[in-house]
Amino acid sequence: MPTVSHEIGQWCVYPNFKEIEKYTGVLKAKNLEIFKETLAGKGMEDMGEKFLYASGRLQTLCYKADIEAALRTQGFNRFGVGRPVRPAYAQTDNIQTAGI
């Protein structure tokens, strides 16, 4: 029986608060503002960029693991991947990625 996967590698990344200013006019980034307010309410407003970076790194590692597992699985010859969204500074250092 063939095995098919759909949209592997869909992992969340902490929001980039620098993007809030890009939303102008009637469109507001309320969801991003809520994350930012929550951090401030906990006295952790200085951690936002660190959380963004760490979650981007984790996303990259999980995406890599998903692709490698799919490639190792016998009979698993088709999988669909979404377009990976990764911050430019989520560098992979010594990690070999599968075309990311």
Output the pLDDT for position 75.
74
Report the alpha-carbon distance of residue 67 to residue 73 in Å, rounded.
Answer: 10
Report the alpha-carbon distance of residue 90 to residue 88 in Å, rounded.
Answer: 6
Task: Summarize pLDDT for 40-94 with one digit per residue, the tens.
Answer: 999 999 999 999 999 999 999 988 888 888 888 877 766 665 555 444 444 444 4
Q: Is 98's pLDDT higher than 50? A: no
Sign of CA dihedral 75, 77, 83, 85: positive
